Amino acid sequence: MADTPAAPAATQRARVRVPLRFADGYHADAELVTFHGLADGREHLAMVLGDPGEVPLVRLHSECLTGDVLGSARCDCGPQLREAVERIADRGGVLLYLRQEGRGIGLYNKLDAYALQDEGLDTYEANAALGLPEDARDYTAGAQMLRALGIDRVDLLTNNPDKAGQLGDLGVDVRDRVPTGVFTTRHNVHYLRAKALRTQHTLPLAELHATG
């Protein structure tokens, strides 16, 4: 851990109990935490599940309205979110729900990029064709939220080394990187293969076959 955190301090604002009740019967008790002083001024949310303990299991989940809320199978975000809730509730930890829709370019730009993907571009080429960064995400607010929760050491649930790298640079000690599941469908297999081929994501390329 760095002696001086690279991110300015944020503080907790509200902390409220929210029982989670899913349609399939899964349930857990969560606390939602809001913050003052987040670097980018967005309304990011922390969800504390179970007893975080000394080294909590943490996921930085980037907002995906289409996958998280609407059930879109064009990506793997919905199943990853559900998996994260269950694994974090089992072990104790925090899910940071970061308002970084479309890898930070926003919902309308993401849907513009989807239209280009329907014409044959991959997920990164489509962003570039729109004159936008392939990945515009910055995890400064995530590091601020963890510190405001009194957390400076985590096990990070992700296949994306950039998340671990940025958190480390921001003074959060990432003890271990825990892989998320791989949730392929015939609609997202090209997207997942592009992630495996074009970025450092630790996705098993050979296992990326459509399953649903």
Ligand X SMILES: Nc1nc2c(ncn2[C@@H]2O[C@H](COP(=O)(O)OP(=O)(O)OP(=O)(O)O)[C@@H](O)[C@H]2O)c(=O)[nH]1
| Window 52 to 111, contacts with ligand X (CB under 6 A) | 62-64, 75, 77, 80, 100-103, 105, 110
- For Zn ion, which is the closer residue by CB, 8 or 181? 181
Whether residue 34 is annotated as binding a ligand: the answer is no
Q: What tokens appear for 123 in the block?
A: 């997920």
In this structure, how many other beta carbons lie within 10 angstroms of the beta carbon of residue 167?
23
Q: What tokens appear for 61 in the block?
A: 């989940």
Active-site hit among 112, 135, 155, 198: 135
105 binds, among Zn ion, ligand X, none (CB under 5 to 8 A by kind): ligand X
Walk across the sheet containing 57-62 and list its strands. Answer: 11-21, 27-36, 45-49, 93-98, 57-62, 153-157, 173-178
Whether residue 171 is annotated as binding a ligand: the answer is no
- For Zn ion, which is the closer residue by CB, 20 or 107? 107
* Cα–Cα distance, 209 to 190 (Å, whole number): 9
Is residue 123 involved in binding ligand X (CB under 6 A)?
A: yes
| Window 153 to 172, contacts with ligand X (CB under 6 A) | 158-160, 163
In contact, 125 and 148? CB cutoff 8 Å: no
Is residue 192 involved in binding Zn ion (CB under 5 A)?
A: no
- For ligand X, which is the closer residue by CB, 9 or 69? 69
How many Cα atoms occupy the beta-carbon half-sphere of 172 within 13 Å?
33
89 binds, among ligand X, Zn ion, none (CB under 5 to 8 A by kind): none
DSSP designation for 187: T
* Cα–Cα distance, 112 to 102 (Å, whole number): 10
Active-site hit among 137, 175, 193, 198: 137
- For ligand X, which is the closer residue by CB, 52 or 67? 67
Instruction: Judge whether 135 counts as a catalytic residue.
Output: yes
* Cα–Cα distance, 78 to 55 (Å, whole number): 25
Whether residue 82 is annotated as binding a ligand: the answer is no
Is residue 162 classed as helix, strand or coil in its secondary structure?
Answer: helix
Instruction: Judge whether 13 counts as a catalytic residue.
Output: no
* Most distant pair of Cα atoms in the chain: their distance: 49
In the complex, the residues that contact Zn ion under the rule CB under 5 A are: 64, 67, 75, 77
In the complex, the residues that contact ligand X under the rule CB under 6 A are: 62-64, 75, 77, 80, 100-103, 105, 110, 113, 123, 127, 158-160, 163, 180, 191, 195
**So which residues are the catalytic ones?**
135, 137
Q: Which residues carry a binding-site annotation for Zn(2+)? A: 64, 75, 77
